Structure 1
C-alpha cells in the first residue's frame, strides 16, 4: 500500500514478502487515475506498461536474492524537469513537448533507479519551474489537499510531485529547488520537503532554471524518507538520520525579514512548534541577520533567477513567446530591465552575504523560521496579476534565503493532516546535510503531538 507509508515501512513489507513491487505499483496506478486523488493534474504522463514491467523485473530479482536494495520496487514520481530514458522532458511546457525522448536518465534518476526505485510518471510543475505557486496553464493546477472544495495552490514549482505524495499515490517524489520549490509545496501540502546543499546532488540531465541557485531534492512522508532518498541522490546508501536528542539542539530563531506579513494561522502554529521544541529541551536563541533586509533591493529587477533564466530561454522567447505561460515569460523578461554590470554586483553581494552568514550563524545547529508566512492561497486570490505577484513573492521569500546563502534546508509539517498546513523550516550548515537531517529528525519527534 502506498497510502502515506514511509520508505522504511514499504521496504520492510517488500523484503518480508508481504508486498510485491507489482502490487505496489498497481495500487499506485489505480490511485493515479482520474480526479479522486488528483492524478489527472498531479501527472503530465504515466507510462503504465513500463512501470509494471519494471516492477515485475524487480520482483523476479528479489525472489532470486538479487534486489539492488531493500527499497527496490518503490515508486517515485519524477518532476518533468528530469530526463528519463525513453521519455520527453517538457519541463511543464508545450514548447519542449515535441522534443525527442531522452537517450538516458538524468543522473539523479539513474541513482534512484540503480537502488531499485521505479520512476513513476512525469509530475506536473510550474512551466520551466518559474513560480512558487505551482500552477500550470497547459496541464492543469494541482491543489493543496486542504480544502479541496475551496481550491488552494499546492505550492511550486514541484506541485504535482508534492500532491502525488500528499494524496497517497506514491511515497516519494524527486523535485528541484531554486527558491523553495521542494519546501514550498511541502508546506502547502503537509509533507516533508528537502533542499540539499546544491553541490551534493549532480544536476546532469535536468532542465535548468538558474544554475547559481538550482538544487535537487526529495519530498516525502517523513524526515527519514527524505534522508534515505538524499543518501541515494548524493551517491551513497539510503542512510537513516543519526539519532539525536532534542535537548542537544541549539537553534537560532531568525527574527528579521522572515516574519513580516505572517498570517494568524501560521503565526500560531509556528509559536506552538517553537514552544514544543523548548519544552523538549532545545536551546532557542533569537538571532537577527540584518543583511537579509537588503534582499528586496538586490532583487528589485529579478535578481539572479531572472537573469540566468533569461540567458537560458532567450532563444525560446524570441521564437515561441506566444506558447509560454504569460505569467512565466513576463517574469523572465524582467531581467531585461537590469542595468549593465548588475548581475556581477548581485553575485558579489551574494558572496559577501554568504560569508557574513557563516559568522553570524556559527555555533547553531540550525536556523529556524516559518517555511512560508501564509496558508496556501486560494486560486481565486492569485487569478489577477497583482494577486499572483504578491502571493508568489510571499511564498518564495523565506525558502529562497536557503538558496541565496547556499545552505541545506528542510520543511516539516507542524499541524494535523486535516487542518491548515503549516511548514516549519530548519536551515543547516552548507555541506553538512547529514547533521541537518539529525536535527530535523529530532524536531519531528517533538512536533508529533502537534500533528494529532
Structure 2
C-alpha cells in the first residue's frame, strides 16, 4: 500500500523520517537498473533535489514547514522548472533551462515540495497511450512482464508514484492525460476545471482544453495538491461528503459502450457498493452529449490549437517528431479560421447546456476508460494504435470538452488489472467533487 501525503506529512512532523531519507528512497528506486527509472526519468533526477531536501530539513529544524515540506513530487516534462530544460517528451525542444517556474510549479515549490525530477510523457502530450519512441515507454506496474501501457500522456507521472520514485506526480490533462494513467495504473487522478489553475509556464497542447492535474495514491492527496496549485485553502477530511442521498447519474450513451469484462464487473461492484451506502443512482440521457462528435471533426479544437503552436517547429523539424504525433497535429491544418470560430462557439453552447443538465445531480459516475491496459507490443500496428487511443480518450475527454472537473478512483479488487471509476462534476465545482470523491473512495476501493 502506497503511503499517502497525510501519512508522509505525519512522519515528517514527528521526526520519524526526514526529507533527505524520503528523497534517498526515491532516488534508489530511480537508479535501480532492474526497474523503470530510466524510462520514467529519462533525463535523470533533478540536479537540485538533494539541495532542496537538505534545505527542507534545515527549515523544519527551525520550525518552518509548508504544507508539502519535504514531500518528493515528480513533474511532467511539459512544465517549466527553474534551472531545468523543458522538453515535453520530445528531442526537438532542447534549448536553454527555464528562467522561472511555471506558476503551478512555483506554488508547489513555495509549499515545500521537493522536485524529484521530470517525468516521461507522450511527445507533446498528444496521445492517451503513454508510448514514447524517443525515450522509451514506462511499463505499467500490473503484469509488468507482459509490458502493458501505462496510459498517457502523463505516463511517467503515474509510474513514478506506483514504483515509489515520488509520493505524487504533477501532470496535465487535455483529454484524460492524468485520469487515464491513473485508472490503468491503480491510482487516483484529478482533472480540475481548466480555469482554476494557471497554465503559464506549461507547453500547450490545446489552450481550450488544457488543465493542470495530479496523480497520487488517494483522492485526498490529489485534493491537497490541487488546493495549493489553485491558491485555495486545503480541503479538510471533515468536508468529506456522506454518500447517503448522493445523487449519481450514469450516462445512458457513449461511456458504457464496449466495456471489457473486467471493467464491467468492477463498475457493477462499485455501483452496488455505492447504492448500499445510500447513494441514489439513476441512468440519464444527456442531450448535450449528442453534439460532442462535431467537436472532434478533423482533430477538433485540439488539433487546430496544436497546429497553431507547432507549425513553425514542424516546418524546420518535422523529421524529429514521433510520426504518429505529427500526423495528429497536422490534422489541424485542414480547418479554416471560420471553422475554428464555429467550433469554439459550438463548444460554449454545449458547455452551458451540459451545466444545466447536471444541476439535478451531485456527479456523473462511469468507468474512466472502457478497457484494462493492453500490451505495448500489441499497439505497434497503426490501426491498433489509433483505435485503442480513441477508445481510451473517449470517456475522460468528455470532461475536457464540456469544461467539467473529474476524478478517477481505483475500484478493482486486489490482484486484478487496475480499473478506474470516474466522477464528473459541474464547472467550478471542484472542491465539492473532491469531497464527494473522498467519500466514494472509502466505499469502492478494493485494492487493500
Distance 1:412 1:146 in 2: 16
Per the alignment, in what secondary structure is the counterpart of residue 128 of structure 2?
Answer: coil
Show structure 1 runs of 4+ deviating over 4 A. Answer: none
After TM superposition, list the pairs within 5 Å mapping 1:81-230 onto structure 2. 81-97=78-94, 99-230=95-226
Displacement of 1:167 after TM fit? 1.4
Q: Give the whole-Å Cα distance in 2 for the aligned partners of 1:423 and 1:429.
A: 20
**Paired residue total:** 447
| Structure-2 residue corresponding to 1:22 | 20
Q: Deviations over 1:126-184 (max 9, x none)?
A: 00000000111111101211111111110000000111011122111100000000100
Secondary structure at the aligned position of 2:266 is classed as helix
Mapped contact 2:235–2:431 kept (Cα < 8 A)? no
Q: Following TM superposition, by how much is the alpha carbon of 1:119 offset from its aligned partner in structure 2, in angstroms?
A: 1.2
Q: Which moved more, 1:343-352 or 1:118-127?
A: 343-352
Deviation at 1:417, TM superposition (A): 4.4
- Of 73, 76, 98 in structure 2, the residue corresponding to residue 76 of structure 1 is 73
**Contact (CA 8 Å) 1:190, 1:417: kept in 2 or not?**
no
Contact 2:250 2:283 in 1 (8 A): yes
User: Quick check: 1:191–1:220 contact (8 Å CA) kept in 2?
Assistant: yes
Counterpart Cα distance in 1 of 2:82 and 2:347: 36
d(CA) in 2 for partners of 1:431 and 1:290?
21
Structure 2 gap segments, 5+ residues each? none
Cα deviation, residue 310, structure 1: 0.3
**Equivalent pair of 2:46/2:118 in contact (CA under 8 Å):** no
Which residue does the alignment assign to 2:306? Answer: 309
Question: How far apart in 1 are the matches of 2:200 and 2:108?
Answer: 14
Q: Aligned partners of 1:203, 1:28: CA distance in 2, in Å?
A: 28
Q: In the alignment, does 2:341 pair up with 1:344?
A: yes
Measure how far apart 1:379 and its partner are.
1.1
1:420 aligns with one of 408, 417, 422: 417
Cα deviation for residue 339 of structure 1 reads 5.1
* CA displacement at 1:326 relative to structure 2: 0.4
C-alpha separation between the residues in 2 aligned to 1:237 and 1:20? 25
User: What's the TM-score once normalised by structure 2's chain length?
Assistant: 0.97
Of 385, 388, 399, which residue of structure 2 is paired with 1:388?
385
CA contact (8 A) 2:38 2:44 kept: no
Map 1:259-338 → 2, pairs under 5 A: 259-338=256-335
Equivalence for 2:53 = 55
Partner-residue secondary structure (3-state), 2:365? strand
* Structure 1 residues without counterparts, runs of 5 or longer: none
Contact between 2:409 and 2:421, CA under 8 Å: does it hold in 1?
yes
Q: 1:321 to 1:439 in 2, by over 3 A?
A: same
RMSD over aligned Cα atoms: 1.4
Contact 2:46/2:115 (<8 A) preserved = no
1:66 aligns with 2:60: no
User: Any idea what SS the aligned residue of 1:389 has?
Assistant: helix
Q: Quick check: 1:412–1:423 contact (8 Å CA) kept in 2? A: yes
**In structure 2, the residue corresponding to 1:152 is in which secondary structure?**
coil
Compute the displacement of 1:374 (Å): 0.7
Q: Indicate whether 1:234 and 2:235 are aligned.
A: no
Aligned residues of 1:177 and 1:214 also touching (Cα < 8 A): yes
Aligned mates of 1:340, 1:214 — CA distance in 2: 20
- Normalised to the residue count of structure 1, the TM-score between the two structures is 0.96
Between 415-424 and 303-312, report the one with greater CA deviation.
Answer: 415-424
SS of the residue 1:253 aligns to: strand
Distance in 1 separating the partners of 2:60 and 2:296: 52
